[in-house]
Amino acid sequence: MCGICGIYNFGTSEPVNKELLHEMNQTLLHRGPDDEGVLVDGNFGMAMRRLAIIDLASGKQPIHNEDKSIWTVFNGEIYNYKELRQLLEKKGHKFYTSSDTETIVHLYEDYGEGCLAHLRGMYAIAIWDSKRKTLFLSRDRLGVKPLFYSIINNEKIVFASEIKAILRYPSISREMDYQALDAYFAYLYIPAPLTIYKGINKLNPGHFIKINEKDIVIKKYWDVRLEPDFGKPEKYFLDGFLELFREAVKSRLISEVPLGGFLSGGVDSSMVVSQMALNVEDAVNAFTVGFSGNIGAYLDERPYAKLVAEKYDLNYEMIEVEPNVESVLDSLTDAFDEPFADDSVIPSFYICKAAKKKVTVVLTGLGGDELFAGYERYLGFRLSMLYDYVPMFLTRSIIQPSIRLLPESKNGTNTINHIKRFIHASTLPLKERYASYVTTMDMFDRAKLYTKGVANKIHFEHTLDLVSSHYNSDNTSTDPLDRALYQDFKTYLPEDILALTDRIGMHHSLELRVPFTDHKLVEFCVTIPSKYKIRWLEKKFLLKKAALKYLPKEVIYHRKQGFSSPMATWLQQDLKSFCNHILSKQEIDKYGILNWNFVDRILKEHIRLQDRHDKLIFAIIMFQKWVKKAECVF
């Protein structure tokens, strides 16, 4: 695990400035505090910061092939590297390290861009072919590891694991992308390929860039295809999942440094930790986060985590988070380099901080919800198709007006808000209906959020297309639930869930591994018909059935609470004075981007329980924290 960066002046003969490259690399110190490496070859240069996990003694990067014509720096882990090494040695390749990284250069020698088909893992890779003067950049299939880049005047490319490294390059444009800004307030993250900076892009998952002095090619090399196999019985899917899941967890236990697991008390993380415990000799280090006092008690899954810890005799640690979150907001802003507002980032920050004191590698249960339809919105989407049979006049004249009058819950639960969103979206076509479930507010309200000058720069329908265009992809079946799952695979999973995992983990120099994103496991699970994912009102039906062999029933069948924070209650109570200051007219008007009258209205509605706006308010807070620090041109 590490951070990588580089410069290629492919359109000029200008040599790379080694001092500048070093300066870029130093911004990634938190990603790799153990070591650094640099390669400069005329008009090309790349560097890395290393977090040593495999081959501690000799795995220093950049790593080269036998004649030193091909070099690589690499962020991530290749879990099948031992099998690949055996294959490559039989073909005559000579290795000088025991690292997973070295397999990459030899694979590239033999297969070129086809080398990616052989890799099983998470990765962002940079390969320099000095003979052909070609740079090859790639990002793993599901997007566990990030890779950012900027192409300048069609003659230079600058790339890095984080935006902050690219921003050290002097001629990078810092102009704000207002389309990305609107996407942020719509989704609470910025979908690839956009970033908040017009001149910087994210490389999409499952894509590579190949660039030389004559050509730039950006190409997709892998995609998930949701094609359910209706000809197989339930047992086939149950057995197939368990075999591949056990393999995915076991392969991610490779490490020469201490290792542990995050245990939320939900079925996903509990399944991961159970397989860890069955495959290691010593007690597994397991970490759980909860919230102090009565605030957020409805989110507390610690009792269920404890049941799993006792069953498998885990070395178990519970972290209690107090609602004094103001102190961590600056750290969160620094970790992402652009606005990001999934409020589960707060418990994630604390649990990563605590875990790092004991381990360097952690396995998580993320990705299970996307594979097995675990989110409430999937069930709501399925139920909405039944609700279509309710007469339209009844919905519009009686049900919708009545639901709008319901006050929000005082204890911060989501039930009333979910009912309101469900009814509000019920008359929309399916694509737009699901879009309404994953956005904070519609385009008409977002237009009111901005000042007129900013709103005029935004194409609001394009913001919807950034995510919803995946709903009608040819890579999925006609089942609306499969279409929703595919959309989340392409957007929410990589740029929210996995982005959070990478940035917060690496902020603490902690590697997080995600077995549910193993591409072999994913390719199998997307063939499972949706009737085995949601049955009646039961989400994750097949996964829960598989879990009966390993987990107590109380853990499997308790109501899903999720790894989130009680933000709605915090904003009404403990964070109220902080919120009033950072969202004051003086602070909002300072940058000329947001409309204070609208911000003030939604804040008052939230405090008075007229409507629930915790996600939007937190998004505005995080934007205000970011914009205050950002080197951005408005």
Helix (H/G/I), strand (E/B), else coil: 148: strand
d(CA 248, CA 39): 34
Please report whether residue 383 resides in a domain.
no
Which of 45-49, 168-172, 405-409 has the least mean pLDDT? 405-409
Q: Is the pLDDT of residue 197 over 50?
A: yes
Residue type, 507: H
Q: Is the pLDDT of residue 564 over 60?
A: no
Concatenated DSSP letters of 48-66: EEE---SSTTT--SSEE-T
Q: 390-421 b/e with 16+ CB inside 10 Å = b?
A: eeeeebeeeeeeebeeeebbeebbbebbeebb
pLDDT tens-place string over residues 493-530: 999 999 999 999 999 999 999 999 999 999 999 999 99
pLDDT tens-place string over residues 334-374: 999 999 999 889 889 989 999 999 999 999 999 999 999 99
Name the most confidently modeled range: 228-242, 432-446, 596-610.
Answer: 228-242
**pLDDT, greater one: 126 or 560:** 126
The boundaries of the domain holding residue 75 are 2-220
Please report whether residue 16 resides in a domain.
yes
Strand partners, 148: 160, 202
352 is catalytic: no
Predicted local confidence at residue 567, as pLDDT: 75
ω before 193 within 30° of 0 (cis)?
A: yes
pLDDT tens-place string over residues 201-233: 999 999 999 999 989 999 999 999 889 999 999
pLDDT band, very low/low/confident/very high, at 298 (cuts 50, 70, 90): very low
d(CA 104, CA 64): 9
The average confidence (pLDDT) of the chain is 90
Residue 561 to residues 59, 330, 340, 414, 438: CA-CA distances in angstroms?
Answer: 41, 27, 22, 10, 18
Backbone angles phi, psi at 428, to 5 degrees: -85, 155
Residue 494 to residues 322, 491, 605: CA-CA distances in angstroms?
Answer: 29, 6, 32
Contact 497, 366 (CB under 8 A): yes
Predicted local confidence at residue 307, as pLDDT: 95
d(CA 70, CA 44): 13
pTM of the entire structure? 0.94
d(CA 110, CA 114): 9
Residue type, 104: I
Please report whether residue 85 resides in a domain.
yes
Please report whether residue 15 resides in a domain.
yes
Q: Is the pLDDT of residue 323 over 70?
A: no
- Residue of 2, 115, 352, 579 marked active site: 2
Predicted local confidence at residue 625, as pLDDT: 94
Mean pLDDT on 126-139: 98
d(CA 338, CA 459): 20
Q: Is the pLDDT of residue 411 over 60?
A: no
Contact 62, 48 (CB under 8 A): yes
Residue 339 to residues 55, 102, 145, 186, 588: CA-CA distances in angstroms?
Answer: 36, 36, 18, 12, 16
Q: 341-352 b/e with 16+ CB inside 10 Å = b?
A: bbbbbbbbbbbb
Token pair listed for 527? 């063939």
pLDDT band, very low/low/confident/very high, at 255 (cuts 50, 70, 90): confident
Predicted local confidence at residue 393, as pLDDT: 62
Residue type, 402: S
Q: What angle do CA 498, 376, 364 make, to 5 degrees?
A: 30
Q: Is the pLDDT of residue 468 over 90?
A: yes
Please report whether residue 95 resides in a domain.
yes
Which of 171-175, 374-378, 407-411, 567-571 has the least mean pLDDT? 407-411
Please report whether residue 231 resides in a domain.
no
Residue with tokens 């006049």: 393
Q: Is the pLDDT of residue 467 over 60?
A: yes
Please report whether residue 52 resides in a domain.
yes
Contact 156, 142 (CB under 8 A): no
d(CA 43, CA 452): 45
Mean pLDDT on 57-79: 91
Sequence-separated (6 or more) residues with CB below 8 Å from residue 295: 323, 412, 566, 569, 570, 573, 574
Residue 111: give its domain's CATH number. Answer: 3.60.20.10
Going across the sheet that includes 156-160, the strands are 35-41, 44-50, 2-8, 156-160, 148-152, 201-202
Concatenated DSSP letters of 438-483: SSSS-HHHHHHHB-HHHHTT--HHHHHHHHHTTTT-TTB-S-HHHH
Structural domains counted in the chain = 1
d(CA 216, CA 11): 11
Please report whether residue 216 resides in a domain.
yes
pLDDT band, very low/low/confident/very high, at 30 (cuts 50, 70, 90): very high
